[in-house]
Amino acid sequence: MNIQWYPGHMTKTRRMMEETISLVDIVIELVDARIPYSSKNPDLDTLAKNKRRIILLNKCDLADEKATALWTEYFEAQGFCVIKMNSLKGTGMNEVTDAARGLMKEKIEKLKARGRINVPIRSMIVGIPNVGKSTFINKYVGKTMAKTGDKPGVTRGKQWIKIKKDFELLDTPGILWPKFEDQEVGLKLAFTGAINDDILDAETLAISFIDHILLRNGDCIKKRYQIAFDTIEEPHVVLRQIADARGFKQKGGEPDLERASKILLDEFRGGKLGRITMELPQDIEEMLGAKVEKERLKAAEDRARKQNFKKKNK
């Protein structure tokens, strides 16, 4: 299943971010705690390379706690300030302002020494579509400032939001990156709802999701739908069992796999399958190591071809 989704408004958003990044001191990025690596926009490492960075592991209530602890260590080792966040309940909210002030402490003290008091810390808030950014802002501010929705792409324009005398947020629309080099990343984004469902085939996506879950925690599906299967079972067979368990039938008595697919994905996104993290730091390190090795072998093959070409043409 090849997944790419980069509508025109995202190109405009990236351009706007490039134009305004110089106005901010800190970049705060929300990522989905269930897929911290896949939901972290790699373009920001270039765009915000000279800025202080805070990562909010949002939806931590839907992710495995031990896995979230591992991801916290992973990002902190890279120099990020990391906060576990549940935007709906407000968990972690109080830590954000304190963290921002801590990162800016040296600059604030220098400004005070020159008689400049309450100069606002300016932060840009960024994240992929449907990661809960608008929900975070509304909870953080204490009133409805940003539109929220259960589909990606609700926020379409930038807006400055004053939190206190010394703190301002620049809200930006959700943005992905133009091309997913690893289709596993695209799939995980689709599982969590960061990709517009309208461009996806629900049944194909659900089968891919089951394939992923069977490798990690097939018991969560067994418990939720009260079905039994071996962990080596084919994903499409498990999907049929889910349809049967819920009584989803088409005319003629065949299982309604499309309806079962949509229910499965909705219930995963809503946390009804339990606390699930779909990737771990060790998975990413193995993937990156394999990528480096693949590039090394390709470079060696290219050198060998060039050498053979030179020998033939002497």
Indicate the annotated binding residues for GTP. 58-61, 86-87, 130-135, 174
At residue 290, φ and ψ (nearest 5 deg) are -65, -35
- Which residues, in sequence order, are CB contacts of 303 under 8 Å at separation 6+? none
From 65, 302, 11, 3, select the one nearest 173 (Cα to Cα). 11
From 97, 69, 102, select the one nearest 84 (Cα to Cα). 69
206's enclosing H/E stretch is helix 202-216
Region of residue 162 (left: phi > 0; alpha: psi -120 to 50; beta: else): beta
Tokens 């002030």 correspond to 101
Helix 183-192 to helix 202-216 angle, to the nearest 10 degrees? 100
From 41, 35, 29, select the one nearest 59 (Cα to Cα). 35
**271 three-state secondary structure:** coil
